[in-house]
Amino acid sequence: MSRIRVLMVSKALVVGAYQRKLELLASAPDLELTCVVPAAWGSQRFEPAHLSGYRMVVQPIRFNGSFHVFYFPRLAALLRDLHPDIVHLDEEPYNLATFLSTREALAAGARPIFFTWQNLERRYPPPFRWFEQWVFRHAAHAIAGNAEARDVLRRKRYHGPIAVIPQFGVDPELFTPADPRPHAPEIDPVFKIGYAGRLVEEKGLFVLLEALAGLGCPWRLSLFGDGPIRVALAARARNLGIGHRVFFHAAVPSVEMPRRLVQLDALALPSLTRPNWKEQFGRVLIEAMACGVPVVGSTSGEIPNVVGDAGLLVPEGDSRALRTALERLASDRALTTELSSRGRARVLERFTHQHVADQTLAVYRRVVEA
């Protein structure tokens, strides 16, 4: 059997939990996989967690943390050594890294693939607009993380094949429900709500505080992460008289997240669409759903497609609707049990690493056959 040689280039794969997708890809008998990651992306250091069956190469990057202009200066030499059939660039098409890596892949005789989350039709200034259009002309395939990103590619005149596949799934053996489920009012009367991610205004965290200020049952909010509005959130909580119920925690390593999630009774992601951003996926939703934690999300971007009928959806920016949804979860044990079951089932059907790996492998095979 002829093997497909793939070189994946990804800064996102510094996160240990994400590497499980690579192990599953590499288990295919017709695939030989190498992955290139930086030693760090921003403050996130490389976490070696799932490294079986493929080769992981840690290379230096220039302009670490600068999304648009970072790149791998040693990638061309690695391409000459490996002679891959496909170079999978896990990056947006308008980035310098994608442009340079696509050019180097073509010079090495490989077929380049790019990835995009961008679900808003944004027009970039030169040279990024030029990078994007050049990549569009030379890519053998595109992978879009959501359906709106696919539609944006078409409107921007990318004419090549596109597959809609989330960048990463979850490991259902790592992200798994606690037994029994945590919230039983007769045992613990405090309803535990969580959020994990960046502390930024567009995630709707001020809306969440407004909703919680009127919540009738005993509750506690845990916020995992950091960001520019942390101090402002703490001040707003104090002004609303709920500061003693809101707890801030540092960002949690990916492999530790399941332990924190299963301690929650609900996870909230009340994201807000802005002119330059809307929710592209909401990964923490599938992590919580895999753990059997009921989720409440807003109608921003991809959230409704991720949650489906396995959680509660509220209009973005509507604190009263969010409060009502949380009150339902706090008071209706049958509902929380049903959503816990539905959420887990939806992840197993659509959002596991295995599912993402299978779809990605199908793209590789189509590219080689074409």
| pLDDT higher than threshold 70 for residue 1 | no
Q: Is residue 176 in some structural domain?
A: no
Q: Is residue 218 in some structural domain?
A: yes
**What pLDDT, in 10s, does the model give residues 304-351?**
999 999 999 999 999 999 999 999 999 999 999 999 999 999 999 999
Same domain, 259 and 342: yes
Q: Is residue 174 in some structural domain?
A: no
Q: Is residue 163 in some structural domain?
A: yes
The pLDDT assigned to 163 comes to: 98
Output the average pLDDT for the chain: 95
Same domain, 26 and 56: yes
| pLDDT higher than threshold 60 for residue 185 | no
Same domain, 20 and 123: yes
Same domain, 343 and 323: yes
Same domain, 52 and 161: yes
Same domain, 201 and 85: no
CATH number (domain holding residue 291):
3.40.50.2000
| pLDDT higher than threshold 90 for residue 255 | no
Q: Is residue 180 in some structural domain?
A: no
Residues of the chain with pLDDT > 90, as a percent, come to: 93
**What pLDDT, in 10s, does the model give residues 9-51?**
999 999 998 999 999 999 999 999 999 999 999 989 999 999 9
Same domain, 336 and 357: no
**What pLDDT, in 10s, does the model give residues 87-133?**
999 999 999 999 999 999 999 999 999 999 999 999 999 999 999 99
Q: Is residue 318 in some structural domain?
A: yes
Q: Which of 160, 162, 98 is nearest to 135 (CA)?
A: 98
Same domain, 204 and 153: no
Q: Is residue 164 in some structural domain?
A: yes
Print the SS3 string covering 64-75.
CCCCCCCECCCH
User: Which structural domain, as residue segments, surrounds residue 263?
Assistant: 191-350
The pLDDT assigned to 189 comes to: 87
Same domain, 68 and 135: yes
Given a contact cutoff of 8 angstroms between Cβ atoms, the answer to whether 260 and 252 are in contact is yes
Same domain, 119 and 253: no
Give the total number of structural domains in the chain: 2
Same domain, 357 and 315: no
**What pLDDT, in 10s, does the model give residues 291-310?**
999 999 999 999 999 999 99
Q: Is residue 184 in some structural domain?
A: no
Same domain, 158 and 232: no
The pLDDT assigned to 182 comes to: 47
**pTM, to two decimals:** 0.91
